[in-house]
Amino acid sequence: MDVFLQVFANGVMLGGLFAIVSVGLTLIFGIVKVVNFAHGEFLMVGMYLTYLAVTGLGLHPFAAVILVVPVLFLLGALTQRFLIQPLLAAGDHHIQIFATVGLSTVLINLALLVFGADIANTPPSGLRQPLQIGPVRVLLGQVVILGTAILLVAGLQTFLARTRTGRAIRAVAQNRAAAELMGIDVNRIYALTFGIGAACVGVAAVLIAPLYPTSPNSGTYFVLIAFVIVVLGGLGSIRGAFVGAILIGLIDSVTGFYVGADMREVAVFGVFLAILILKPSGLFGRQLRLSHVSP
């Protein structure tokens, strides 16, 4: 029983990690209706920035948030304003996919140029310290990640539901033309949303960097699972992404222990395919409405 609890706890912790990476991706998709294939590279950039802040400036990773999150917000907002927005005007949905894939390649190669292919290890700064909670043992950093993921999800939901800007963001997602008629600057909302989505992955980067090695390909590893989770939870659903992330974390952990480590991805993608077939809109998804994207 204790072993199962430990496996379960590992799954939940892994789920928290997946959740914190996925939240921004699903937000951007839900509002701007753009699949950001550079999301993983945003994470990678954030991890390198954390590495530099901790090793270069001697900051604690938590303090690095002050630097990393605003930079990532800007990166996201500028990506929307100068890469996606001109393409949205052109009206072709496929070009946006190529554009974000292109951006991802550019960022990976920039990282190779600046940092080389070697792994950069951010000092763990106490986050690797083990915690004994009843029968289970986890890392402090894992608990921090799970807690932050929960706060981030709850915070975003409240922001979208209760604030004027949050309502404006939802209005743009539901009816872009009507939002413009309310006096909402739609392009500004898109840039803001892209910025917030990128800032979320900035928060993730700060917490992941002390626990995992950073390399130009770091983003690719995390974000493949994030795409699975976002589809599983229902594209655009923040709550769905969180539930999906915990679910995938548990499947990964339980299969890894009871079936075999090499079967983890088989199980994860098996569940993913099953849900795609049985409920294509995802756990919390609504019917996708992309009608306003192409005339």
Partner 1 sequence: MLTLERVDAGYGATSILHAVSLDVRAGEVVTLVGANGAGKTTTLRTIAGLVRPTRGRILFEDEDVTRLSGHEMVERGVTLIPEGRQLFPEMTVRENLLMGAYRRAARGRQMETLGEVLDLFPRVRERLDQNAGSLSGGEQQMVAIARGMMARPKLLMFDEPSLGLAPIVVAQVFAVVDRIVKTGATVLIVEQNVFHTLQVADRGYVLENGEIVLADASAVLLDNDHVRRAYLGI
Q: Which of 171, 254, 267, 288 binds partner 1 (CB under 8 A)?
A: 171
Residue nearer to partner 1 on the CB measure, 180 or 265: 180
Under the criterion CB under 8 A, does residue 60 sit at the interface with partner 1? no
Query: Residue 96 Cβ, how far from partner 1 at the closest point, in Å?
Result: 21
Residue nearer to partner 1 on the CB measure, 85 or 175: 175
Under the criterion CB under 8 A, does residue 239 sit at the interface with partner 1? no
Under the criterion CB under 8 A, does residue 181 sit at the interface with partner 1? yes
Under the criterion CB under 8 A, does residue 1 sit at the interface with partner 1? no
Question: How many of the chain's residues bind partner 1 (CB under 8 A)?
Answer: 17
Q: Which amino acid, 65?
A: V
Give the angle subtended at the CA of 44 by the CAs of 41 and 45, to the nearest 5°.
90
Comparing C-alpha atoms, which of 62, 79, 64 is closest to residue 28?
79
| Torsion, CA 86, CA 92, CA 98, CA 99, rounded to 10 | 10
Q: Which amino acid, 26?
A: T
Under the criterion CB under 8 A, does residue 178 sit at the interface with partner 1? yes
| Torsion, CA 25, CA 31, CA 284, CA 243, rounded to 10 | 30
Q: Which span sits near partner 1 by CB under 8 A: 70-78, 95-103, 172-180, 216-224?
A: 172-180
Would you give the end-to-end CA distance of the chain in angstroms? Answer: 57
Residue nearer to partner 1 on the CB measure, 186 or 267: 186
At 30 the three-state DSSP class reads helix
C-alpha–C-alpha distance, residues 135 and 2, integer Å: 6
Under the criterion CB under 8 A, does residue 170 sit at the interface with partner 1? yes
Residue nearer to partner 1 on the CB measure, 171 or 254: 171
C-alpha–C-alpha distance, residues 143 and 121, integer Å: 20
Query: Residue 287 Cβ, how far from partner 1 at the closest point, in Å?
Result: 12
Question: What is the contact surface with partner 1 in residues (CB under 8 A)?
Answer: 164, 167-168, 170-171, 174-175, 177-186
